C-alpha cells in the first residue's frame, strides 16, 4: 500500500464479479473498482468476495489510523474506515447496491 492511499493500478479493469478485486490501498481507483464489482454482484459467492474486499479496506484504513498523526486526512480515513464496515454489513444483508452507495460517498 502506498502511504498516501494511492494505487498506481487503474480501476479501468473489466468488471467480473466472479473475481476478487486486489485491494492494496484505499485510493479512489481501488474504491471505484470495488464499487463496480459490488454493483455487478448477484450470487452468494460474489458477496463473499465483496465482503473480503471490504474487510481489506477496513484493515488497511485501520493500519493507517494507528500509524498516522491526527489531521484532516486522518479524520477522512476514519470516516472511510467506518464506511467500509457499514458497507460490509450491507453486503452481509445481501444489499450490495446499498454498500456501493456508501462507498461512493468517499469519492
For the stretch 23-75, pLDDT in tens is: 999 999 999 999 999 999 999 999 999 999 999 999 999 999 999 988 889 99
Is pLDDT larger for residue 101 or for residue 72? 101
pTM listed for this prediction: 0.87
3-state secondary structure the chain: CCCCCCCCCCCCCCCCCCCCCCCCCCCHHHHHHHHHHHHHCCCHHHHHHHHHHHHHHHHHHHHHHHHCCCCHHHHHHHHHHHHHHHHHHHHHCCCHHHHHHHHHCCC
Comparing 68 with 98, the larger pLDDT belongs to: 98
Amino acid at each position: 500500500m502506498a502511504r498516501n492511499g494511492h494505487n498506481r493500478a487503474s480501476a479501468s479493469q473489466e468488471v467480473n464479479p466472479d473475481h476478487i478485486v486486489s485491494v492494496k490501498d484505499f485510493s479512489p481507483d481501488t474504491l471505484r473498482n470495488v464499487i463496480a464489482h459490488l454493483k455487478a454482484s448477484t450470487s452468494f459467492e460474489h458477496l463473499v468476495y465483496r465482503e473480503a474486499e471490504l474487510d481489506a479496506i477496513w484493515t488497511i484504513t485501520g493500519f493507517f489510523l494507528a500509524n498516522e498523526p491526527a489531521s484532516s486526512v486522518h479524520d477522512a480515513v476514519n470516516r472511510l474506515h467506518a464506511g467500509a464496515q457499514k458497507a460490509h454489513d450491507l453486503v452481509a444483508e445481501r444489499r450490495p447496491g446499498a454498500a456501493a452507495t456508501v462507498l461512493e460517498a468517499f469519492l
